[in-house]
Amino acid sequence: MRKQKLLIFGGTGKTVNNLIVEALNRKYLVTAIVYDITKIPIRHPDLEIKHGHMMNTENVEALVKTQDAVIAVHEPLYINPKEHVKAIYSVINGVKKAGVRKLLVIGHPIYRPIENTMEFYDLWKPIARAQQEVLALFHRENYLNWAYVYSNELQPDPKTGRLDKQANMILASPLGESLVPLKGYAPILLDYAQVLTSKLELELNI
């Protein structure tokens, strides 16, 4: 049986490394596209690490052309939240042009601490808006088998003004929404990718 090819776009932090390890444990042939290949400590015969980024549609198309599925990790930043929208727009169009139909995007800043202050809440608002823009892009999509992981809503307590720290992320897909815990997310997201893909392939007769 042929091994499935999985390409992972992202930076060089814990999220990408954890996903790489989990994918290799599941016997995928993994290609990691990162900004700095020296920051990925994992070495494995089924792992290829390349320098690259996801901000250009043509670049994405060329990189993913032979892949079975794509995971893109792009965490929006308050200093430039619109970059998140541009990056995922580029990924969506590049993946489609390459003829790849399976795309999972992680848009929640998993390892960035949430501060219990109203100042942080004000900084968080543009991140939430950018995530909603990306979610709208996906909801208009009728070609891809997609899933988008984004942040659970942050709301300040009306009495204390402190933020309620969420222990879950939201995974949205054409099949609806599910909660994904921040602890142990890597195997859960790989599970979701496999389950959602099989269900959607049955529905779409792929």
Delimit the domains of the chain by residue range: 5-204
pTM above 0.85, yes or no: yes
Per residue in 172-185, pLDDT tens?
Answer: 998 899 888 888 88
Superfamily, domain 5-204 = NAD(P)-binding Rossmann-like Domain (3.40.50.720)
Per residue in 91-127, pLDDT tens?
Answer: 999 999 999 999 999 998 876 666 666 777 788 889 9
- Distance of alpha carbon 149 from its chain centroid, rounded? 6
* 145 vs 61: CA distance, rounded Å: 17
